[in-house]
């Protein structure tokens, strides 16, 4: 089975449909208002209502208030939630929705221990750590620090690009890869050619 691809930071329908046409499996929508990729719940739910079947829309939150998560979730039964902040396992479970937990690769992080704290997560996403920026850093991290036996499917993120994604997939062998900045033409807008190159690299080695 080839590696799955999540294109994150979708802000408009055109980019969503282009990514799906190129073979994306999941689309990420950032509900963190300090991000240049922020999208409002209304716009995101409007986009999700026009997606074809067999596509996973992923709503991304960073220590968000309950009412924001609920407002988004109630817009469509299709949402999977990606918790990208310091949310506890209890918070992640409290919405009754399937979820991914993102862990940032701080130098001293015990990934196995952290990941095992979220037994109800569908997957664990590993992302680069940059103080003050919770995600979308455009930076890679040391893939050798990823434990071989994670308890959940791994989504690899952080600084992936059309140039390094095939190496990342061959080295780490993740369940899926996740990209934002590496396939943009400007913050929040995707570059169709880079999206195609990235997905080909992830699924077919370039
Ligand atoms: O993308 C953002 O702006 C963002 C902001 C705050 C929290 C998370 C964010 N993105 C999460 C993602 O899933 C990104 O795809 C992931 O961090 C990788 O980003 P990049 O290094 O730009 O590919």
Q: What is the ipTM of this complex?
A: 0.97
Of these ranges, 9-18, 106-115, 145-154, the one predicted with the greatest mean pLDDT is: 9-18
- The CATH number that applies at residue 127 is 3.20.20.70
pLDDT one-digit tens code per residue, 50-88: 999 999 999 999 999 999 999 999 999 999 999 999 999
Supply angle C-alpha 27, 120, 20, rounded to 5.
15
Q: Going by CA atoms, what residue is nearest to atom 8 of ligand 1?
A: 135
Closest CA to 102 of 61, 54, 50, 70: 61
Residues 20, 33: Cα–Cα separation, whole Å: 25
Taking residues 137-156, what's their average pLDDT? 95
What is the total count of domains within the chain? Answer: 1
Give catalytic residues, as residue numbers. Answer: 8, 127
- The residue nearest atom 5 of ligand 1, judged by CA position, is 135
Mutation test residue for ligand 1: of 26, 87, 135, the one with most atoms within 8 Å of CB: 135
Residue bearing tokens 């992302």 = 127
CA of 84 to the centre of ligand 1 (A): 9
Cβ atoms of residues 97 and 80 within 8 Å: yes
N- to C-terminal Cα distance for the chain?
16
Number of Cβ atoms within 10 Å of the Cβ of 42: 11
Q: Which atom of ligand 1 is nearest to the CA of 133?
A: 6
- Ramachandran angles phi, psi of 99, nearest 5°: -145, 155
Evaluate if residue 165 carries a pLDDT over 70. Answer: yes
Render pLDDT for 121-134 as a digit per residue (tens, 0 to 9): 999 999 999 999 99
Cα 29 to middle of ligand 1, angstroms: 10
Indicate if the pLDDT at residue 206 is higher than 80: no
State what percent of residues in the chain have pLDDT above 70.
100
Rounded-to-10 torsion of CA 123, 156, 135, 117: 30
Which residue has its alpha carbon closest to ligand 1 atom 1? 136
Q: Give the pLDDT score at 149.
A: 87
- Specify the residue for token string 């209304």: 42
Q: How many CB atoms lie within 10 A of CB 185?
A: 12
**Residues of the domain holding 115:** 4-204
The tokens for 11 are: 């802000």
User: pLDDT tens for residues 85-110?
Assistant: 999 999 999 999 999 999 999 999 99
- Give the confidence band of 3 by pLDDT, cuts at 50, 70, 90: very high
- CA–CA dist 83, 61 (Å, integer): 5
Please give all residues whose beta carbon lies within 6 A of any atom in ligand 1, as ranges: 8-9, 28, 30, 32, 35, 37, 60, 62, 84, 127, 134-138, 157-160, 178-182
Q: 197 alpha carbon to ligand 1 midpoint, in Å? A: 19
Residue 90 burial (CB < 10 Å; 0-12/13-18/19+)? exposed
Contact 171, 148 (CB under 8 A): no
What is the 178 CA–ligand 1 centroid distance (Å)?
8
């Amino acid at each position: 089975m080839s590696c799955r691809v999540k294109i994150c930071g979708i802000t408009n329908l055109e980019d969503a449909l282009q990514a799906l046409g190129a073979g994306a499996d999941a689309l990420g929508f950032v509900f963190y208002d300090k991000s240049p990729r922020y999208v409002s719940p209304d716009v995101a739910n409007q986009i999700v209502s026009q997606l074809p079947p067999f596509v996973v829309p992923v709503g991304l939150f960073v220590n968000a208030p309950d009412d924001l998560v609920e407002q988004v979730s109630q817009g469509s039964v299709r949402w999977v939630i990606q918790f990208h902040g310091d949310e506890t396992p209890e918070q992640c479970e409290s919405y009754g929705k399937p979820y991914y937990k993102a862990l940032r690769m701080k130098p001293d992080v015990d990934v196995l221990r952290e990941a095992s704290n979220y037994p109800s997560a569908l997957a664990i996403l590993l992302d680069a750590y940059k103080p003050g920026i919770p995600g979308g850093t455009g930076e890679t991290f040391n893939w050798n620090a990823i434990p071989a036996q994670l308890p959940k499917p791994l989504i690899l993120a952080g600084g992936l690009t059309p140039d390094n994604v095939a190496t990342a997939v061959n080295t780490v062998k993740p369940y899926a890869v996740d990209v934002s900045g590496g396939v943009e033409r400007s913050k929040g807008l995707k570059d169709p050619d880079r999206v195609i190159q990235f997905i080909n690299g992830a699924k077919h080695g370039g």
